[in-house]
Structure 1
Amino acid sequence: MPHDISGHDLFEVREPSVQRIPFVFNSPHSGRRYPQSFLDQSRLSGQQIRRSEDHFVDELFSAATALGAPMLLAHFPRAYVDVNREPYELDPRMFDGPLPPFANIGSSRVAGGLGTIPRIVAENMEIYGGRLPVAEAIERIETIYKPYHAALRRLIARTHARFGFCILVDCHSMPGNVRLAGSGDRPDIIIGDRYGTSASGTLSRAAIDILDDLGFNVVRNKPYAGGFITEHYGRPARGLHAIQVEISRALYVDESTLEKTRAFPAMAQALASFMQRFVAHACQGDHATGLAAE
């Protein structure tokens, strides 16, 4: 079944008039344009199927372009195709025929129902009432997933070529009930750097210190260390740094109605302050040289 969104409807790059800083911002899960064909396939209500969105994260980080960085953002929903996965993490139980031999059918994300074509949304709600054609999964990957990553690669390569290094900030949100194992503490924000493998440790610590100074309860890597995008694009030894920022939705959205709360403008302003200070830290002379040389 062909999807009924295309072109500019799929995703967009918001560009500054001139890129002034070695940053790329990415919001892969905030898309909220649901193809009617997809809604017709789903057994969920329009409200239920939105439970996996990173609600309004693209708006929370919208100050990125004013600072001089491009921002890539999805318009397609995560429940339709998840670009923060390998290209072919597919669950054979979802489809009506054999998958290609190169499909990764055994990952933990597939087992949990959250592969490239997700089986569930939050709270383990099954999306589909029946099996999907294999050809449809391949079409979503070929026409949405691959062009999205091609656009992201171009932005990163352009930035790296221009500045000598690139910092990718992968922007996400998490349910407000997320707790840290063993303590029951609810973090406001989690900075993920794949346990130090996707970004300079000094860069991650700077992000945490700035957010902490802004009054947030911030932790590193637990329970979210970063997904495929952070892992795949973060190559600190080559001057390519990738960090994931997870924000608790309880800080800015009503999780029962999925509407913004009155706290939303203040949250967006706080994140604008974070970005400004983080950019200033990363671009200062000796530190910038170190980020490029790692």
Structure 2
Amino acid sequence: MDYHFKAGSAPLLVSMPHVGTAIPPDIAASMTEAALRVRDTDWHLRELYDFLDETGASTLAAHWSRYVIDLNRPPEDTNLYPGMDTTGLCPVDTFCRDPLYQDGMAPDPSAVQDRLARYWQPYHRQLRAELDRLLALHGKVVLWEAHSIMSVCPRFFEGKLPDLNFGTAESRSCDPAMQDAVTRVAHAQGRYTVAVNGRFKGGYITRQYGQPAQGVHAIQLEMCQCAYMDEDSPFGYRPDRASEIQPLLRDLTGAALEWVRA
């Protein structure tokens, strides 16, 4: 199993490339204890977005940890944020700079190519195939990139991150009207802070597959994990917090779906 996929009937595909926690035994044997805790997982998103079945959306979620290979990084391992710190295609440290590999055991270029073929490509093949299927059915489709991250991470940003961070590659990965439809809903509520194309502008998937001229409108939502879970180990899901933000997530994805159907 390389991913969890469910085909829907609506023109909406929700991708969750960082929810995986599995690490193959041969790779795990080379890793540190910090790596095996998989701290930088986008925890519990499948549960948080469990309302998607009611909308008819398709869902695609990773099985393998981003520590094995990052499905939201370019296969050439270029930096999506030139001049800024980021983790790579096969990361060698955590967001807190803890090493992921025992001394001398980080993957060499050959191993990285093997992981691309074995773990990265299957996810992207399924992603492309489902977008094409939905395009054939509907003519246009929303690709919603669902992510979450610790709310305070000095390596990547100062202070606390806004609760909801939308990225559309500076309005290039989707029609600006769709971006407006979604972010208008976000700005209308008063509980959660919002940023649009701020620190997070959309990763590889948003930028690569978001092609409005071809009918694919991609938007990424990077959420603060404190909005729905405990950020400290064991990273427990908080139904009390989740129940407060889920109606907003339903409204946000609903706004995208309403726009693409118009």
Q: Give the shorter-chain TM-score range.
A: 0.7 to 0.9
Contact 1:171/1:245, CA 8 A, preserved across alignment: yes
Residue 211 of structure 1: how far off its partner (Å): 2.2
**TM-score, scaled to structure 1:** 0.79
Q: 1:178 to 1:127 in 2, by over 3 A?
A: closer
| Equivalent position SS for 1:123 | coil
Distance (whole Å) between structure 2 residues aligned to residue 185 and residue 78 of structure 1: 23
**TM-score, scaled to structure 2:** 0.88
| Equivalent position SS for 1:241 | strand
Give the number of aligned pairs.
Answer: 256
Structure 1 unaligned spans of 5+: 1-7, 90-103, 289-294
1:87-166 pair list within 5 angstroms: 87-89=75-77, 112=85, 114-129=87-102, 130=104, 131-166=106-141
Q: 1:269 to 1:107 in 2, by over 3 A?
A: closer
Q: Residues 101-156 of structure 1: CA distance to partner in whole angstroms, max 9, x if unpaired?
A: xxx5x776798462211111111111112233433222211011111101000011
Match of 1:39 among 19, 28, 38: 28
Aligned residue for 2:171? Answer: 196
Q: Which structure: larger Rg?
A: 1
Match of 2:5 among 2, 10, 13: 13
Answer with 56-65 or 263-272: which moved more.
263-272
Residue 176 of structure 1: how far off its partner (Å): 1.1
Confirm whether residue 221 of structure 1 aligns to residue 197 of structure 2: yes
Distance (whole Å) between structure 1 residues aligned to residue 22 and residue 197 of structure 2: 30
Contact 2:173/2:207, CA 8 A, preserved across alignment: yes
Aligned residue for 1:259? Answer: 236
Distance (whole Å) between structure 1 residues aligned to residue 91 and residue 27 of structure 2: 12
Answer with 37-46 or 225-234: which moved more.
37-46
Contact 1:14/1:65, CA 8 A, preserved across alignment: no
1:276 partner amino acid: G
Task: Please list every run of at least 4 consecutive aligned residues from structure 1 whose deviation after the TM superposition is greater than 3 angstroms.
Answer: 106-113, 178-182
Confirm whether residue 243 of structure 1 aligns to residue 219 of structure 2: yes
Distance (whole Å) between structure 1 residues aligned to residue 223 and residue 115 of structure 2: 28
Distance (whole Å) between structure 1 residues aligned to residue 157 and residue 15 of structure 2: 28
Distance (whole Å) between structure 2 residues aligned to residue 44 and residue 110 of structure 1: 30
Q: Residues 143-173 of structure 1: CA distance to partner in whole angstroms, max 9, x if unpaired?
A: 1111110100001111111111111001101
